[in-house]
Structure 1
Amino acid sequence: MRVGVVGYGTMGRVHSQALQAIPEAQLVVVADADPERRAQAQRDYGVDTVSSIEELLRAEDIDLVDICTPTYLHESHFAEAIKAGKHIFCEKPLARTLEEGQRMLELSSGYDKKIGIGHVVRFMPAYESIRKAVLDGEIGGAAVARTFRGGAKFPQGWHDWFADFDLSGGVILDLTIHDIDYLRWLFGDVERVYAKTTHGRTTAHLEWAFILLRFKNGVMAHVEGSWANYPGEFYTTLEIAGEGGMVSYDSRKTQPIHGVSIDGGPVAVNGSSSVSADSPYYLELKDMVDAILEDRPPRVTVEDALATLKVTLAAVESARTGQVVEL
């Protein structure tokens, strides 16, 4: 399967590396507007390079377009790949605005090729194991969840696009969306959102956000994301408490998963003694390739990604207005 990657920034490089481990996939071309990045792609993988998705679609007979460009470009690149009749994998978030996301859903309706969206936390073995334990009732009925994602410095991107809120959506849309999507995958639909952020309080490259989600099943979730740390170790944490116990995860620990029942005994979480060495980016792209070969939907569809985008943008709106947003 011949693959073209669009965008050779951080995620484009990560995806290109992950594709090397998939025997059924062959990276054949990379598109990027930056000549230095094109030269780097040639040095890294010896592939053809072009300066735009339009050139990529003309230059190579590819099967799968992997969109790794900044969020504000997703809709236009998605539309070009649809017009060319290609299978599509697109990095998260689906789009910068709900209107863009809805147009992308409309474009994909009835489309006869496969489309997957890169909500990679669904492919992280530790998070998958915890989800299974919770759904299997290992902690009883879930009541409260807490997540954190951050610890490293403000991200750098093409023309500093992360710092332009109109382009990136800030820390909520770019970073905490990972945990919002995971929690939706675990607990279902969200009914209320309230959020606070430091956006607009400083011109420095710093942003922190806290989001409170109430799910239709009654679960409450506290979601925290930070681009406000000094340069350091990026890490994530997850904690879910239920009627019968609690399970937690801390990526900084040698034994990252811990579970304890209400009577002090252990909670069974498959994979708790170790974490798979497989890259989740490899796993999500392998799922995409397999979906094409097996003629089935990828794990994360456009509909899934749009539902997550709706909740995340509700958090952005709540942070802007200071009001609860009902969904």
Structure 2
Amino acid sequence: MALPFLHRWTDSDALSLGLLGVGNIGMVHLKSAVAMPAVDVVAAADARPENRARARNDGVSRTYDDYEALLDAEALDAAVVALPPFLHADAVERAAEAGVDVFVEKPLARSTAEADRLLETAREAGIAVGVDHTLRYQPDMMGVKEAYDEGGVGHVPYASITRLNDHPLGRPPAGDAPPEWPMDPEAAGGGSLVELGVHCFDVLEWLFGDLEIKDASMGRTLETEAEDAATVLMNAPETGTTITLHCGTYQWEQLPEVNTRLRLEGVTGTISNREHLPTNFYAGAATSALSNVASRFTSDEPDVFGPTFYLQAHYDALADFCDAIREGERPPVDGEDGRRTLALAETAYELAAADAAADADDPDGLEAPEVSP
């Protein structure tokens, strides 16, 4: 249903868009936006000079070293918030003061409490909040959902999802030191469960409806402050499906390999995302990977749209948000969706912490169980 307070965008020309943060994912959003019809990327902000230079090389005419300065100076219809998570709430607050709709990189915030404050600020200002949960936009995930909705495998008693990559350390040998904030759970909101698990929660709710967390464990495969591995057991009451989720940032991800697995075990068969990968994905991704390696020696910019399997999903998510803003509709993946994934992550953290505390109190498991009279 259309939301009247979103009908501010009335210009017959392009939607005016600003980028708040043009690091790795910010550049993906920038390249997506400049390729879109009826979108005008007017400005970008980033504290790092090299990032601002990259944005200018990609056609952004005005850059700022501070996102507040951009919001003060530019007349925008919408902004992409691609800043570290500890800046999301402040950036949305500043955008709300300017009356600018926002598309926020996941996680929406570092906690549900912070998300609640962010969303209340947006409601009071009448701005829309979209969240970049892109897993549901990947063609393999869309293929799984279509096959599941068709009912060919019948009831699905069990499903599993795994998502692994090497964020934030990268593949060795290390060149530059990784950014500090992804290694800091206070700045990032957590570890692997927030970095990768929230995407998995979103696609699982998209498939099965509301989720209930039953148990969880966190691990540190590497010597990091936050978890780099998380395993969660869930139930989907609406469909009666038991689900396991595992995510981790301990495994190198090198195209053309895809380190995401989704399997639905139905009573008459199995649906896997592997069955729905684009037929040209591996060849295209491998060619792009080789091209990007070569670009390091020729000083050319890497082709970030090369592995289109992932990056087309980011394009489609941002395009859907922009279309919703034009039409005065609620974004298809909105702030409440982003908050729900954070609530699930918090419950998993709490259960894992409780289990760890219980194990510390009784490390040998020798405590006698309670017996009902």
TM-score (norm 2): 0.75
Query: Does residue 295 of structure 1 match 2:295?
Result: no
Query: Does residue 25 of structure 1 match 2:39?
Result: yes
> Which residue of 2 is the match for residue 90 of structure 1?
104
The one of 217, 230, 241 aligned to 1:196: 217
Give the 3 Å change call, closer, same or farther, for CA 292–120 of structure 1 in structure 2.
Answer: same
Structure 2 Cα separation of the partners of residues 119 and 19 of structure 1: 17
Q: Match for 1:84: what amino acid?
A: A
Q: Deviations over 1:119-156 (max 9, x none)?
A: 11122222122112212312111211111111445446
Structure 1 Cα separation of the partners of residues 87 and 148 of structure 2: 37
Query: Does residue 236 of structure 1 match 2:257?
Result: no
Give the 3 Å change call, closer, same or farther, for CA 203–58 of structure 1 in structure 2.
Answer: closer
Structure 2 Cα separation of the partners of residues 135 and 294 of structure 1: 28
8 Å CA contact 1:184, 1:308 repeated in 2:
no
The one of 208, 219, 222 aligned to 2:244: 222
Give the 3 Å change call, closer, same or farther, for CA 304–254 of structure 1 in structure 2.
Answer: closer
Query: Does residue 307 of structure 1 match 2:340?
Result: yes
Structure 2 Cα separation of the partners of residues 148 and 235 of structure 1: 8
8 Å CA contact 1:91, 1:118 repeated in 2:
yes
Q: Deviations over 1:36-91 (max 9, x none)?
A: 21122112324211012210112211111110011111111111111110111111
Cα shift at 1:278: 7.5
> Is the deviation greater in 299-308 or in 223-232?
223-232
8 Å CA contact 2:164, 2:253 repeated in 1:
no
8 Å CA contact 2:185, 2:225 repeated in 1:
no
Give the total of aligned pairs: 307
Q: Match for 2:336: what amino acid?
A: E
Question: Please, which runs of 5 or more residues in structure 1 have no aligned partner?
Answer: 258-274
Q: Deviations over 1:161-196 (max 9, x none)?
A: 111122221000111111111001111112233221
Query: Does residue 115 of structure 1 match 2:129?
Result: yes
> Is the deviation greater in 130-139 or in 7-16?
130-139
> Is the deviation greater in 117-126 or in 2-11?
117-126
> Which residue of 1 is the match for residue 370 of structure 2?
none
Q: Deviations over 1:243-277 (max 9, x none)?
A: 222100239967599xxxxxxxxxxxxxxxxx979
Cα shift at 1:202: 2.5
8 Å CA contact 2:168, 2:178 repeated in 1:
no
8 Å CA contact 1:139, 1:247 repeated in 2:
yes
TM-score (norm 1): 0.85
Q: Match for 2:214: what amino acid?
A: V
Aligned-residue identity in percent: 30
Give the 3 Å change call, closer, same or farther, for CA 276–158 of structure 1 in structure 2.
Answer: closer
Q: Deviations over 1:216-264 (max 9, x none)?
A: 232111111121124644521110111222100239967599xxxxxxx
The one of 59, 65, 78 aligned to 2:92: 78
Query: Does residue 207 of structure 1 match 2:228?
Result: yes
Structure 2 Cα separation of the partners of residues 53 and 11 of structure 1: 16
Q: Match for 1:167: what amino acid?
A: A
> Is the deviation greater in 290-299 or in 227-236?
227-236
8 Å CA contact 1:31, 1:38 repeated in 2:
yes
> Is the deviation greater in 154-163 or in 82-91?
154-163
1:230-309 maps to which residues of 2 (within 5 A)? 230=252, 232-233=254-255, 235-250=259-274, 279-309=312-342
> Which residue of 2 is the match for residue 144 of structure 1?
158
Question: Please, which runs of 5 or more residues in structure 2 have no aligned partner?
Answer: 1-14, 171-176, 282-307, 358-373
Question: Would you tell me which structure has more strand in proportion to its own residues?
Answer: 1
1:120-139 maps to which residues of 2 (within 5 A)? 120-139=134-153
